[in-house]
Structure 1
Amino acid sequence: MMSEKDLELHNKSENTAFSVAAVAGHVKTTSIIVKKNPALVDILGNDRMMPLYMVALFGKADMVRYLYDISKKMTGDFWSMIIGVGS
């Protein structure tokens, strides 16, 4: 029921609902949220961490695979900017 922009809001810990669901390992929930707002994959959370990095730290293998795939295997514009590809 949340709007695309509302999904980008951060909680007190600076995480989006998408990041929280991802860290919890809820692949189905995150897939529903990201369909509404694909930009959430690239929104930094607590300590400026990417959602993919957060789920890797928590050892959520299924979620890591899912986020890696929807991040275009970390080759999109945002990822290129972060890791300095092409600079």
Structure 2
Amino acid sequence: MSRICQITSKKRMIGNNRSHAMNATKRQFLANIQYHRFWIPSQKRFIKLRVSVHGMRCIDKKGIESFLNSINSKNKGN
């Protein structure tokens, strides 16, 4: 399973390790993805999401229901 946030769509970035001699070798910067259960009061149930820590902070600020509405509207558009 890929390491992509279900809220913010953050994913890995690719860059270089730099040695003291400035030699470059490829590396990956991984997003801080966590599994987290969120309580939805209107449905009286939990949902489990793979969310970055930045996504958790956004959910704390705006609320889980606003993000669920935006995800549902995106799915209806497809």
TM range (shorter): under 0.3
TM-score calculated relative to the size of structure 1: 0.25
Q: Which has the higher strand share?
A: 2
Q: Which has the higher helix share?
A: 1
Which structure has the bigger radius of gyration? 2
